[in-house]
Amino acid sequence: MMEFVLPDKAHDESRQGEALMLEQNDKNNGRKLYIESYGCAMNFSDSEIVASILMDKGFETTSDYRNADVVFINTCSIRENAEQRVRNRLREFGIAKVKNPGMVVGVLGCMAERLKSKFLEEEKLVDVVVGPDAYRDLPNLIDQVDDGQRAVNVLLSREETYADINPVRLNSNGINAFVSIMRGCDNMCSFCVVPFTRGRERSRDPQSIVKECTDLFNAGYREVTLLGQNVDSYKWSPSQTLPEGKGLNEESLPSGEVGGAFVNFAQLLEMVALIHPDLRIRFSTSHPKDITDEVLYTMKKHDNICKYIHLPVQSGNSRVLELMNRTYDREWYMNRVDAINRIMPECAISTDIIAGFCTETEEEHADTLSMMDYVKYDYAYMFMYSERPGTLAAKRYADDIPEAVKNRRLQEIVAKQREYSHYRLQGHVGKVHRVLIEGFSKKSDKDYCGRNDQNAMMVFPVDERFKPGQYVNVFAESCTTATLLGKIV
Ligand code: SAH
Ligand code: SF4
Ligand code: F3S
């Protein structure tokens, strides 16, 4: 049944809302927010949502925590050392708080979700603990702290995607931006804490994604990275509604999708690719069990979808992959790599690898090394296994590989990757690359830097005719261990 709201009632309510907002804005006007992010790109993207929510309430951002009124740390729980880093940083905020006792210190993100109110017991300087799905409640929680209480909200949601919030871009170069397309993860890899800290997987309304990317393009941005823990399981069904009841109706879908059962990741990629040929698209993370040929063909079809896939393997051994609950085996992974190479021979592939997972033998570790020989990854993020409380692995398997052995295996993996990264970079030497200028190089303002389609960083002398945000053709003359050196042609 439709619900009608009497016009004068609606009017009154909005007036009340307005008054409340003005009051809150007045109270917070000019209050300074400092926010620091750890962990994955999703956390950095969330911090932009947080800043947007608070700026709406009158806050300004600052880059110096020592004179901030509110200091937030957006945390990561993925490995023990990630949590340790946050704890150390909190000590430093504690020193600043002694000088500035009115300072509100808040812990956001995955550690907040994992530890909940325990955080308030363990870290006396912390005033607010807020999980990744509760950021809309922040103004209210800060009010509670202003009233002398400590506040916690770690409720996870099945719907929240912050779809309607237009993130403010923090520390931005005005050229690259992250855009969240989904939240949470339903995969339950046995080593991983993310399903517990981020909750159930949910996809964001494609129209809101296209709108955000279009706005970014119109504001001068030239590259968007679509983010999700498993982008290949992105799925939006037209019957889904936004939390505020603003659903996607069939008329608002682009033709072709009208009446279709749902929008999948390949279709979403295409919708974003069609915004403008000069808007480049990257995405992360692809899951080997879910990446489809349809996604690969969509990438091939559109020049502005970068030919680069981050495809975490974790281990090259099928028994270990099973213990990890990755739901693919060595052969399946190789088959996906073959498909990428067949459909887009120029496509770069990077990966994540865990060394020394529970019960991993030397032979099984050797399988990871031989997988690296098979794929010859362009880049890799490599870690020692770190047991996380509450995960399936922590419950089921002993963390039985001695630290020294884990470390040795990791060093072998790192050494091999160094060779392949160099090998791949050398493959780019002697060729011309289309590069998006991102700014001056870190070392010198006589050089520009930017990445090619395959995500390789290039450094080349400044040419006054071209500005950051423009595409240039750069000839790669040589390479260092991590960078291509060249000149604009
Ligand atoms: N969603 C992505 C990964 C997110 S976490 C995916 O499915 O691939 C990023 C990486 O951290 C993982 O790929 C894994 O390599 C690593 N990681 C996660 N949990 C870990 C743990 N307990 N110990 C060591 N590395 C871990
Ligand atoms: Fe963690 Fe696996 Fe989900 Fe990635 S896919 S976030 S590794 S549970
Ligand atoms: Fe870390 Fe949470 Fe991302 S645990 S890796 S910040 S999803």
Q: Which residue has the higher pLDDT, 187 or 242?
A: 187
Q: Is 110 annotated as a binding residue?
A: yes
pTM: 0.91
Is pLDDT of 263 > 50?
yes
Residue 295: inside a domain: yes
Residue 158: inside a domain: no
What percentage of residues in the chain have a pLDDT greater than 90? Answer: 87
Residues 299-334 have pLDDT tens digits of: 999 999 999 999 999 999 999 999 999 999 999 999
pLDDT value for 258: 43
- CB distance 194 to ligand 2 below 6 Å: yes
Q: Are residues 53 and 143 in the same domain?
A: yes
- CB distance 169 to ligand 1 below 6 Å: no
User: Computed over its alpha carbons, how large is the radius of gyration of the chain?
Assistant: 24
Q: Which residue has the higher pLDDT, 124 or 314?
A: 314
Q: Are residues 54 and 121 in the same domain?
A: yes
Q: Which ligand is nearest to the CA of 188?
A: 2
Residues 163-214 have pLDDT tens digits of: 999 999 998 999 999 999 999 999 999 999 999 999 999 999 999 999 999 9
Q: Are residues 421 and 439 in the same domain?
A: no
The amino acid at residue 395 is K
Q: How confident is the model at residue 24 (pLDDT cuts 50, 70, 90)?
A: low
Q: Are residues 384 and 458 in the same domain?
A: no
Q: Which residue has the higher pLDDT, 18 or 212?
A: 212
Q: Which of 234, 228, 244, 246 shows the shortest CA–CA distance to 206? A: 234
Residue 89 neighbours by CB distance under 10 Å: 15
pLDDT value for 146: 93
Q: Are residues 388 and 459 in the same domain?
A: no
pLDDT value for 23: 60
Q: Is 479 annotated as a binding residue?
A: no
pLDDT value for 55: 96
Q: Is 76 annotated as a binding residue?
A: yes
pLDDT value for 257: 47
Distance CA 276, CA 295 (A): 19
Q: What value does the mean pLDDT take over residues 363-380?
A: 98
The domain total for the chain is 3
CA angle 234, 203, 153 (to 5 degrees): 140
Q: Is 306 annotated as a binding residue?
A: no
CATH of the domain at 268: 3.80.30.20
Residues 38-77 have pLDDT tens digits of: 999 999 999 999 999 999 999 999 999 999 999 999 999 9
Residue 381: inside a domain: yes
CATH of the domain at 439: 2.40.50.140
Q: Whose CA is nearest to atom 11 of ligand 1?
A: 78
- CB distance 185 to ligand 2 below 6 Å: yes
Q: Are residues 74 and 98 in the same domain?
A: yes
Q: Are residues 127 and 220 in the same domain?
A: no
What percentage of residues in the chain have a pLDDT greater than 70? Answer: 90
Q: Which of 130, 163, 217 shows the shortest CA–CA distance to 49? A: 163
- CB distance 76 to ligand 3 below 6 Å: yes
Q: Are residues 303 and 344 in the same domain?
A: yes
Dihedral sign from CA coordinates of 113, 116, 28, 86: negative
pLDDT value for 28: 86
Residues 67-94 have pLDDT tens digits of: 999 999 999 999 999 999 999 999 999 9
Please, which residues bridge with residue 351 across strands? 380
Q: Are residues 359 and 408 in the same domain?
A: yes
Q: Which one of 45, 156, 197, 229 would you pick to mutate in the ligand 3 pocket, going by the greatest count of ligand atoms within 8 A of its CB? A: 197
pLDDT value for 245: 42
CATH of the domain at 122: 3.40.50.12160
Q: Are residues 266 and 400 in the same domain?
A: yes
**Full domain range(s) for residue 481:** 432-488
CA angle 229, 437, 376 (to 5 degrees): 50
Q: How confident is the model at residue 239 (pLDDT cuts 50, 70, 90)?
A: confident
- CB distance 108 to ligand 3 below 6 Å: no
Ligand 3 center from residue 409 Cα (angstroms): 24
